[in-house]
Structure 1
Amino acid sequence: MATRHFAAPKVPEIFALFWIIKLLTTGIGETASDFMGTKSLVLAGVVGVGGFFLALAWQLRSSTYHPVRYWLTVLMVAVFGTMIADGPHVALGTPYYVDSVIYAVLLVGLLTWWRRSEGTLSVHSIVTPRRERFYWGTVLLTFGLGTALGDTTAENLGLGFWPSALIFGVLILVPLAIWAAGRRRTRGEVRAVICFWIAYALTRPLGASVADGLGSHHHDGLGFGTGPVTAVGLLVFALLVAYVGVTHSDEGGAHARHRLEGADGGGKPDENEFVVDAVMD
């Protein structure tokens, strides 16, 4: 069956600012969900569920990447992902570690389906609607898994938010180290893709633990309040998204072109390096 192809991948270039904005969305999603939940469950449901489906529909209808549309969708996935992770715990009383196992199994299953169907898990292969649906399904499950993992360490294990943030901060360096050690070896692209998705999933418990540590009065939190923490996070988020929107620095291939233009003596950089860096810079 014929399918349409996008002119370019509908995801941003993966570089340092990508990870900063991604971490911000995880923290905002956690505190915004908690803040709305304490004010009105109806409000939380309308914004979390309704906002998620509206943002995702807006993203899927487009054929091109745009930073505002993309990052708004990620932000709403963060809010909705918090709700789907907390929902079973609140409604059924299941421990967060049980939810973590369930989401991990679902995530592995979806990634396996995606890999067998499309032949790649690279985020820069998102050039068809089918691959984009796989992508957003995977993103949603990473948020659910990450939320459950963060709550497992902070609450079920009783470690608190800051020790949890430290644990996940160290863990997220592991895929970076593995990627860096193997970037010049064979199958570097496969290694980079695997490391990317591991790091992507770990951004959720890391960002959420930091946000909870700032906003909560419990589990060694600083108690600034979920409302103020959400407001500050949204302001920084808006500024960074506006920056990439104006500079176009997160468009696909932007950093590879920059390196080509700045190569000493006009030398041509290694093409394999760009393949790997396109996934994890």
Structure 2
Amino acid sequence: MAKASVAPALHRVIVPTMTTEHLLDDRPHVNLRTMANKVPEVTAYFWIIKVLTTGMGETASDLLAKTLGPIPAVGLGGLALVASLAVQFTVRRYIAWVYWTAVVMVSVFGTMAADVLHVGLGVPYTLSTPFFLIALAAVFALWYAVERTLSIHSIRTRRRETFYWAAVLATFALGTAAGDLSATMGLGYLGSGVLYAVAICVPALAHRGGALNAVTAFWTAYVITRPLGASLADWMALGHARGGLGFGLGPVTLAWTVAIVGFVGYLAVSRRDTSRTDATA
């Protein structure tokens, strides 16, 4: 029910302002279209899949930890993350399956990283959330100091791609901690999902009104997708005693995985998230 109401709102508010057409305004004035593009075009499909990967990563991480134990789960997640990023760095251009597999593994491992701090080391969410916020700010500061841009449409060198994925990993860890923090403050998982569904519209509206540049608006919305998707997935998976629908971690993980595969498969065939230059390559 909540997913059906959230999706149209995200489409109406975010899609018109947070797409590649608008993000291109803030990129450096170079002919990037003639260079290898390692990231997808920012379309409605981008935001839909991004939210799906966050939710799937949340429940998959919890399922692995529950099935294998925390330490083996983190080890397996770390190996899968390294392998997926190795493939992503090896390819010469954006490939839907390769890119989104890496995003999924970042989602899974990012969740584990946040959970290790809280569950394993006893760090409260009130500390881990600002910690990951500082970590993300540090990545952005170093990225900008070295490259003088944070635009995702300038990802054309190995170094910029490294900064990009470091930022992505930090956003997932931050979003996980922030989502868990809000869930423990009496909002519950559904309430948190509604909160972040509203919050994700703020950077889009601010950008549309000229109060926020495209790059800042994009990364702000990117961070918020994490607690949005995770809150909705937890609401669907967890039991009634915890304020959820009780569908279970396994079924929800499988359902969201099928949805991701469907959307990514469509993009791989249609290449709707690829620029005209790359589509003809």
TM more than 0.5: yes
Alpha-carbon displacement from aligned partner over 1:78-97 (angstroms, at most 9, x marks no partner): 00000000101112211112
Q: Following the alignment from structure 2 to structure 1, what is the Cα–Cα distance between the partners of residues 200 and 98?
A: 27
Instruction: Look up the equivalent residue of 1:201 and give its one-letter code.
Output: V
- Which residue in 1 is equivalent to 2:206? 178
- Which residue in 2 is equivalent to 1:40? 68
Matches within 5 A, 1:1-281: 7-41=35-69, 44-155=73-184, 157-182=185-210, 191-217=213-239, 218-252=241-275
Alpha-carbon displacement from aligned partner over 1:249-281 (angstroms, at most 9, x marks no partner): 001358xxxxxxxxxxxxxxxxxxxxxxxxxxx
Q: Which runs of 5+ in 1 are unaligned?
A: 184-189, 255-281
Q: Following the alignment from structure 1 to structure 2, what is the Cα–Cα distance between the partners of residues 231 and 52?
A: 19
**TM-score, length-normalised on structure 1?**
0.83
* Post-superposition offset of 1:174: 0.2
- Which residue in 1 is equivalent to 2:8? none
How many residues align? The count is: 243
**Identical-pair percentage:** 45
Q: Following the alignment from structure 2 to structure 1, what is the Cα–Cα distance between the partners of residues 222 and 103?
A: 12
Q: CA distance change for structure 1 residues 32 and 198 in 2, over 3 Å: closer, same or farther?
A: same
**What secondary structure sits across from 1:223 in the alignment?**
coil
Q: Following the alignment from structure 1 to structure 2, what is the Cα–Cα distance between the partners of residues 202 and 177?
A: 14
**What secondary structure sits across from 1:182 in the alignment?**
coil
Instruction: Look up the equivalent residue of 1:173 and give its one-letter code.
Output: C
**What secondary structure sits across from 1:51 in the alignment?**
helix
Deviation >6 Å, runs of 4+: none
Larger radius of gyration: 1
Alpha-carbon displacement from aligned partner over 1:109-142 (angstroms, at most 9, x marks no partner): 1101111111110001000000000000000000
* Post-superposition offset of 1:45: 2.9
* Post-superposition offset of 1:216: 0.5
Instruction: Look up the equivalent residue of 1:244 and give its one-letter code.
Output: L
Q: Following the alignment from structure 1 to structure 2, what is the Cα–Cα distance between the partners of residues 197 and 164?
A: 20
Alpha-carbon displacement from aligned partner over 1:26-78 (angstroms, at most 9, x marks no partner): 00000001111111126523431111110011111122110000000000000
**What secondary structure sits across from 1:160 in the alignment?**
helix
**What secondary structure sits across from 1:221 in the alignment?**
coil
Contact 1:33 1:83 in 2 (8 A): yes
Q: Following the alignment from structure 1 to structure 2, what is the Cα–Cα distance between the partners of residues 158 and 44?
A: 29
**What secondary structure sits across from 2:130 in the alignment?**
helix
Instruction: Look up the equivalent residue of 2:156 and give its one-letter code.
Output: V
Q: Which runs of 5+ in 2 are unaligned?
A: 1-31
**What secondary structure sits across from 1:120 in the alignment?**
coil
Instruction: Look up the equivalent residue of 2:220 and give its one-letter code.
Output: I
Q: Following the alignment from structure 1 to structure 2, what is the Cα–Cα distance between the partners of residues 43 and 213?
A: 26
- In angstroms, what is the RMSD of aligned CA positions? 1.6
Alpha-carbon displacement from aligned partner over 1:195-248 (angstroms, at most 9, x marks no partner): 000000000000000000000114311110010000011111001000000001
Instruction: Look up the equivalent residue of 1:76 and give its one-letter code.
Output: M
Q: Following the alignment from structure 2 to structure 1, what is the Cα–Cα distance between the partners of residues 73 and 146?
A: 36
